[in-house]
Amino acid sequence: MIVDPVAMTGGELMGQVRDTFTALLGFLSLADSGDVGGSRRSAFVDEAVEQARRLGRLSRGDLLLVVARNRPELDERLRQVFTDVTGVEIIVDRRQPAHDGLPPDDRRRLDITEDLQRFGVGIGRPYFLVAPTT
């Protein structure tokens, strides 16, 4: 199915981005499981790369992925599958937890803390995924 990101509303686009990213993480997980052989592993990696390309198209070349500090293997895998995708920046979460153990209080408009804890990675951009502040 060909999707035109320009014709979508912000909510529709967010849904497509999240679904595509979830699929990408699923294919990476399958590829990294010890239960698959070389050719199946390769097919899962190829599909993850295709999902990465789709994300690049959906985000219009402006995507920020924030990887949890405790997931260096995920950081490495994401960098591999996004190698040929332009406009994608992958960074490691540098925020420091507050002394009381609560998430840091900062000026970010999009809270990805739950995604970092649950999936090891969160989508921090593109700009159209963040609700404007008033």
Question: Which pairing describes strands 88-92 and 63-67: parallel, antiparallel, or unpaired?
Answer: parallel
CA distance 61 to 120: 22
Residue 70 pLDDT exceeds 50: yes
**Could you report the per-residue pLDDT of 32-56, keeping only the tens digit for each?**
988 878 899 999 999 999 999 998 8
* pLDDT value at residue 107: 46
| Dihedral angle computed from the Cα positions of residues 124, 6, 48 and 80, in that order, rounded to the nearest 10 degrees | -60
* pLDDT value at residue 52: 94
CA distance 23 to 21: 5
* pLDDT value at residue 115: 79
The domains of the chain are located at 5-129
DSSP E strands in 1-134: the ranges are 63-67, 88-92, 121-125
Question: Which pairing describes strands 88-92 and 121-125: parallel, antiparallel, or unpaired?
Answer: unpaired
- Count Cβ atoms below 10 Å from residue 80 Cβ, excluding itself: 13
- Count Cβ atoms below 10 Å from residue 36 Cβ, excluding itself: 14
